[in-house]
Amino acid sequence: MIVDSTCLARLVTEAREYALGLVIRRIVQPRHDLVALELGRAGPWQCLLIDWSPEFGRIHLAAEMPEPGLRDQRLGSTLRRQLRGARIERIEQIDYDRIVQIEFSNCEQLGPQCRRTLVAELMGRHSNLVLLDPDEQIVEAGKHVTLRVNRYRQTLPGLIYIPPPEFGRVPPREADAEAIATAAAAVLDQKLESFVRSSFHGGSDLFVAEVCARAQLDPAAALRDLPVGWAEALAQQIRAIPQEAAAPGDAWIYYDEAGASPDFAWPLDLQHLPERRRERCDSLSEALDELQRRIVRDQRERQSRERIFGALNEAEKKARRTLQKRQEAVRKASEAELDRERGELLMAWQFMVPTGAEEVTLQRHEHEGELTIPLDPNATAVENAQAYFRRYRKSERMSGMAPKLLAAARHELEYIEQVRTQVELAEDVDDLRTIEEELEGEGYLKARREDRGRPARKRGDARRAETAQGYALLYGKSGHENDAVLRAAQPEDWWFHVKGNAGPHVVLRTDGRPDEVPEESLLEAATLAAALSSQRRDSKVEVDCTLAKHVNKPRRGRPGLAYYHAMRTFSVDPSSYRMQPR
């Protein structure tokens, strides 16, 4: 998210108009690089956010106070002690750079003469937030910077504050055609965009591109190739854009090149991006607030997906190892009769077994020929026979348990595949949180630290839709929701599930008259089941259909899993499904 000097000019104007003279009620520090100052005024904006993270450095009004996060951070504690009850006296952007100063009076509640200044340096990875006393001595800082990190200046409590270096740049308000032409004469081979960026404060990529577009100059052209009068046109736009940005007005949220997701917000209508999709907002603070909300939502969604997929991948590996071990155990159990025969032969012919032998060949009772029996050379014939009898009894037990053990292992893999499909189809953070809570309950995930101690949310209910003919549909997008669909189904309702793959339970209400449901509604319900399944990208999908009374959930089975006997099978195109509004 881009918040450059042009954005800061508008944000400072908006903050100055709304927050100047207001008292700070409360201060929270949700992250180590974010503080929120709650404003003592009832209105659309509840707080002033200051974020000095490398990615999202910004300062703007926000409609909601963020939840408290870190409690014992030294900067947060200092700000609460110094600025709670203080009044905002001044908000100023320094020389159109990414530096904002906020001056407070009545600090530590010692009266209007007790002042502090908060300096927000929003400069990428060098961003910081510094609290100064009236003598510009550092009281505290978000990041302590020593000489090992920065030889130019230290940022430590007790030291005199040194502003960031200017690197020879000047504020845009001082742009002058003659000075520009003189500076350009020394670097005629330099590109225009590079020249503007290195000569003026606030020279972000957007600012440079917009200045060049409005001045009708090619940003990639060398200075020597620019037309006559270019310096005057450039100076005029360099002065004009900051003036326009500093005035109150609308702002825009710009989307990425594909027009799929919000990319950044800017206070001006960008002439160099005329075709880019955009949304108008009443203020830049509103635009950034909305954009940040979407970014945080997308981050949480991505993190939730990664967390769930990571747990599912580990669980799948474990389940496949378990299935492999149980299949091997079943294979060994098939040799149970051979172990019994070995034990009986050793007992019957123990006097023929040499001491210390590693194997012995004995005449078989029940079969013609002989049988070679491996032995433990450190054990007697009777001890070897007893070992074979123990293996025989264990194999017998395994043979009895094998069907259940194999079914349980396959059941586990089916559940994992079902959850993976549900995560892929989840539409928002709430859907993912529902799946996370289900996995936490099933032991696949540990509860998040911030969620420990909170009461569990109500498990999801069945979702509802409707066929074109008006028949009600119930379906689920998580294991617990699928269980709710089964609980809500009546015996004579039609139940649908994609054949042999992961997918949702879909129930079509029949009011006890399943034979009267039109074929179109049955096909629509089958298409919904296919559209929410792991086969949703296929052109043709087979969906089983049966009455709900023929569907059974296994005891202690994972959420959403069930057994059924199909009465009909439909072949449908998942892409043809269209949700009917209720």
Give the model's pLDDT for residue 458. 62
pLDDT in tens, 126-182: 999 999 999 999 999 999 999 888 888 999 999 999 999 888 899 999 999 999 999
Give the model's pLDDT for residue 459. 67
If one counts every other C-beta atom within 10 angstroms of the C-beta of residue 581, the result is 5
Residue with tokens 């530096």: 99
pLDDT in tens, 471-527: 999 999 888 999 999 999 999 999 999 998 888 999 999 999 999 999 999 999 999
CATH code, residues 172-285 = 1.10.8
The sign of the torsion formed by the CA atoms of 341, 345, 347, 348 equals: positive
The sign of the torsion formed by the CA atoms of 446, 448, 452, 457 equals: negative
Superfamily of the domain at 5-141: ibrinogen binding protein from staphylococcus aureus domain (2.30.310.10)
Give the model's pLDDT for residue 542. 94
Output 31-36 pairs: Cβ under 8 A, ≥24 positions apart.
31/69, 31/70, 32/70, 32/73, 32/142, 33/127, 33/129, 33/142, 34/66, 35/75, 35/76, 35/79, 35/129, 36/62, 36/65, 36/66
Q: Which residue type is seen at 352?
A: M
As a whole number of angstroms, the distance between CA 3 and CA 213 comes to: 20
Closest CA to 471 of 499, 503, 506, 497: 506
For the chain, the domains span: 5-141, 172-285, 311-457, 463-576
Q: Contact, 139 vs 82, CB < 8 A?
A: yes
Residues whose CB falls within 8 Å of the CB of residue 184, separated by 6 or more in sequence, listed in order: 190, 195, 223, 231
Low-confidence ranges of the chain (pLDDT < 70): 1, 70-72, 334, 366-367, 398-400, 402, 449-459, 579-582
Q: Contact, 44 vs 63, CB < 8 A?
A: yes
DSSP 8-class letter at 25: E
As a whole number of angstroms, the distance between CA 470 and CA 209 comes to: 55
The length of the chain, given as a count of residues: 582
What's the Cα-to-Cα distance from 477 to each of 420, 462, 473, 487, rounded to whole Å? Answer: 11, 9, 13, 15
Cα three-residue angle 213-198-58, rounded to 5 degrees: 80
Output 125-128 pairs: Cβ under 8 A, ≥24 positions apart.
125/54, 126/164, 127/33, 127/52, 127/53, 127/54, 127/57, 128/52, 128/155
Give the model's pLDDT for residue 295. 80
